[in-house]
Amino acid sequence: MSVRSSVEESRERLVALTLLLQSASRERPLSQETIVTELLIDEYPQRGRSPRKVRAYEGSPVAVRQKFERDKVRIRELGWQIETIALPEGGVGYWIDADSVMAPVLHWDEEERRVIQLALRLYGFGASGAFSLFNEGPGADSGLEDTTYLTPILRAVRLRRVVSFDYHSSANRTRVVEPLVIGLFHGAVYVVARVHGSSEVKGYRLTRMTSMPHVSDETFEVDEDLAAAARAWRPEFGATPSPVRAQFTTSENYARLIARQFDGAHLHARPTGEVDVALTFESLRAALRFALRAGDRVRVRAPKVLRRTLRDWLERVNAGPVPEVGEIVFEAPTSDSTLGQALRLLHMVHHAPEGVRLSSLAQRSGMAPEVVRHIMDRLVTFEPLHGDYGFPAHVIKECDDWEHEDTEDALYLPEEVVTGTPPLPALTWRDLFEINIALREALAIHDDPAVRAVIDKIEGLAQHWVQMEEIVADEVEVQVQEATQRHQRLKIRYVSGTTGETTDRTIEPREVRFLNGHAYTRAYCLTSVAWRTFRIDRIVAVLASSTADEVRPPDSVSNWLTQVGDVGEDVVVLVQASSRWLFEALPRVQWRALGDGRHLVRLRVANESFLDQLMVEAGAGAVVVTPRFRQAGHAVAARMLAAL
């Protein structure tokens, strides 16, 4: 059998098994013997228009058992939990609780679909998420971190079930927790949970999980005190922070930027043209984080404890022994599984009762048309298992010219049920989570009744499972959004994130996207006469606006939001667990755990100033391994120390 035939056979067998187990139930589970004996797939290599059906599991009893066990593992790796039930006659049966993955059907009117489309373009997971169900075009850069671990975590939160998973913080070990809420902080997803058997509430970042979470049958109760503790949890800060009143001196433009971003900031102009800024932080750590992010754009004046803490931090920037570069090996990034591909395509078809073309499926999924054709043609020929069990999803293929179906842009439709009406499309709980997050973020920009209506529908089902930082509407962000929609030109005052230089620029914003908690706009910059990316929270002010009616050259960069991950030089950094969170937010990073609480991270750096700032914020928690960048951050730290 060819490699291609083997992949196609494996894909069809996995999809068939997944759909079949959803047709079973706790009262009517399927035994391995029933599945192995009666589950059919197409013969490979395929011969003729109607391929002969063969058993999905063939071979010796040992080989069949091994293949069946591997298939169960691959299904569970997508977050689908296969339940095991003891049978009265002995042995065990299997089933998948479809309700643990698929949410009840929700109906959207035209206006609600419109706001969902818009929100997913700005804040969604991109091509891998719900974007493809509501938007015709291809998914772009992700605004939220994508992980298959979200599916079982959502189930555990909804059902109040104890969950266990392997987790890498200072060390990789198994955690057993009672999940209370899903939190979104700085663009990263956390599960906020009580440690099982204790009263401690902690947050676990989903991208640090190293095994698929297992949802147990054990339940737990939540009282108001516990719920309040979960709502109050935040990353980076201690549970009982002490407020700190800090004073800084900076330029007039940067002071205005600070005042726009921090409510309650107090500004006092000096005769020299500089400005004193007073801010209240919830803890010393929060004040330190602000000073480090501001870099040498501010001078810390008070309190003394902050100055001492900052001096100690800066003296240890990018310092310490490092391993030999030649000893470092990183695992290749994982790709989408064949099972995941097929299920995503099937999901798209069932969200299009009027049918969806092959070309559209390929565009939405980011897959090659020939791959989509192979997968969809296999889904079309699926047949129910003999007896009372059947697949919960069928697909019909329509062609205008069946003689050339191998090249035609075929139309795929969900098969009608017995009543003669198309099956109603259901979203997964993961889809609803993503849509809910995107809409909540959108409220900060546009308080639309349709947005609130969709949120109410989702949270009516999900029982308010999301915990987010308070989102405050930003006037400049709203102005940029409106300029994008109205095709306007803006004159802005902008503070560079690398040099700290303030310049006046004229831009024509074309798109706004969000990544790791920050808003960015892609715009044609008339000042530099080129396409540029601007972080909106670095725009001090919009000085003027006018209509933009000139034709600009096309933008040669498609995924502009994560371009930093595609261009530049590879840099390897040794990271302590305490500072890993700084690097996790960067696009396309690769990790390797050393087993002693330290990690190696490889990233691409297009601008050395960016790496300088990153190392200053990491402090003693990170050391650059790559020889060419061993001095990264030293010059910035020295300037900040001199200002103290």
Asked if residues 298 and 310 have their Cβ atoms less than 8 Å apart, the reply is no
Give the mean model confidence (pLDDT) for residues 431-446: 81
Question: Under a CB-based contact definition with an 8 Å cutoff, are residues 184 and 466 in contact?
Answer: yes
Query: Do β-strands 466-468 and 172-185 pair in parallel, antiparallel, or remain unpaired?
Result: parallel
475 pLDDT above the threshold of 60: yes
pLDDT exceeds cutoff 50 at 62: yes
Helix (H) / strand (E) element for 539: namely: strand 539-547
Q: At what angle do helices 369-380 and 3-23 cross, to 10 degrees?
A: 50
Helix, strand, coil percentages for the chain (3-state, nearest 5): 40, 25, 35
Strand, coil or helix: 509: strand
The answer for residues whose C-beta is within 8 angstroms of residue 593's C-beta and 6 or more apart is: 168, 172, 599
pLDDT reported for residue 178: 96
Q: Under the phi-then-psi rule, with left for phi > 0, alpha for psi from -120 to 50, and beta for the rest, what region is 101? A: alpha
Q: pLDDT confidence of 201, banded at 50, 70, 90?
A: very high
> What pLDDT band is residue 47 in, cutting at 50, 70 and 90?
low
So what's the pLDDT on residue 277? 95
Helices (H), 24-139: 32-38, 61-76, 110-123, 131-134
* Six-digit token string for 348: 């798209």
Q: What is the 3-state secondary structure (H, E, C) of 15-47?
A: HHHHHHHHHCCCCCCEEHHHHHHHCEEECCCCC
Quickly state the pLDDT bin for 418 (edges 50, 70, 90).
very low
| Residue 612 pLDDT greater than 70, yes or no | yes
Under a CB-based contact definition with an 8 Å cutoff, are residues 588 and 604 in contact?
A: yes
User: pLDDT band at 417, cuts 50/70/90?
Assistant: very low
Identify the pLDDT of residue 489.
94
Query: At residue 571, does pLDDT exceed 80?
Result: yes
Give the pair of three-digit tokens for residue 546: 């006018």
pLDDT given at position 580: 78
pLDDT surpasses 90 at 291: yes
Q: Per mean pLDDT, which range of 356-365, 417-426, 486-495 is the poorest?
A: 417-426
Residue 555: burial class (beta carbons within 10 Å; 0-12, 13-18, 19+): middle
Going across the sheet that includes 92-96, the strands are 30-31, 92-96, 82-86
Inter-CA distances, 338 with 44, 386, 483, Å: 17, 25, 42
Average pLDDT over residues 125-150: 71
At residue 130, the pLDDT reads 82
If you average pLDDT over every residue of the chain, what do you get? 82
State if pTM tops 0.85: no
Token pair belonging to 247: 């004073």
Q: Which of 73-87, 233-247, 312-326, 571-585 is the least confident region?
A: 233-247
In one-letter notation, the amino acid at residue 281 is F
Residue 419 has pLDDT above 50, yes or no: no
Residue extents of the structural domains in the chain: 3-96+352-414
